[in-house]
Amino acid sequence: MAYVTVKAADGGSFQAYHAAPAGGGKAPGIVLIQEIFGVNKVMRDQADAYAAEGYHVLCPDVFWRIEPGIDITDQSQAEWDRAFALFNAFDVDKGVEDLKAALAHLRTMDGCSGKAGSVGYCLGGKLAYLMATRSDADCTVSYYGVGLDDLLGESSNITKPYLNHMASEDGFVPKEAQAKIKAGLADNPQVTLHVYDGQDHAFARQGGAHYDAAAAKTANARTTDFFKTHLG
C-alpha cells in the first residue's frame, strides 16, 4: 500500500492512497471518496478492505487545494471544528473534477482492468452522487450523502448503476430532504436506494458515535454485491 500522484485537470497534482489486490492479473478499480476528516486511518483501512475483495483502490486527497495531507479523526471537538471548516471551504465542483482525474488515473494503472466505479461516505457520499451524474464511472455508491436534495436537477444524468445508502435519522439530512431525495430519484431505473431505519449519519464508520454493526454489515454486503455485479 502506497501513495501515488495524480495530475489535476487544471494544473497541479495531489496524492491518493493506493491499495492493491493480492495476486496477479487484471482487476477492476474503485475510487474511494473520503469523509470530512481527510484520508485518515478509517479511509485507508476501508481502501485496504476493498482491495482485499479484489479491487485496485485509490483514495484521493480531495482537500489538497485547501491544505494537503489532512488526516484527522472524529474523536475530539477540535477535530470536528477543523473538519467542518474544511467542508465549508471546499469547492465541490473542483473536487469532482479532481475525482474524475483520479478515476482516469486509476484506469491506466498497472493491473487495473479499466472498469472502475466509485464509493463515498458523508461528504464523499455527496461527491459520489456527483460522480454518478458527471463522470463515466461504471457504477457508484453513496453512503449517507449530504446535500443531495439540492442537486436533484442532475439526477437525469445518472445513466449507470447508482446505489444510495440513506440513514432514516441522519442528523445532517433532515426528513424533508430525505423525502425530496427519494422522490427525485424514484423514476430513474439505474438508482437503487436503501433506507436504514433508526440509523444516524455515519452508521458504517467503525469507532464512530453512531456506528451500528448490524446496519453496517447489511449496507456493506449490498455494496459488495453491487460492485461484483457491475465491475466483476
Q: Among all residues, which ones are annotated catalytic?
A: 170, 201
Please say whether the beta carbons of 19 and 5 come within 8 A.
no
Place of cell 485547501: 66
User: CA dist 203 to 27, 119, 138, 153, 199, Å?
Assistant: 29, 15, 26, 27, 6
Query: What is the tally of helices (H) and strands (E) in the chain?
Result: 6, 8
In the DSSP assignment, the letter for residue 120 is E
| Pairwise CA distance, residues 62 & 91, whole Å | 9
Reported in sequence order, the residue ranges of 77-139 that DSSP labels E, i.e. its strands, are 112-121
3-class DSSP assignment, residue 58: strand
E strand or H helix that includes residue 229: helix 213-231
- Alpha-carbon 3 to chain mean position: 18
Copy the grid coordinates of residue 159: 445513466
Please say whether the beta carbons of 8 and 99 come within 8 A.
no
Copy the grid coordinates of residue 192: 437503487
Copy the grid coordinates of residue 210: 453512531
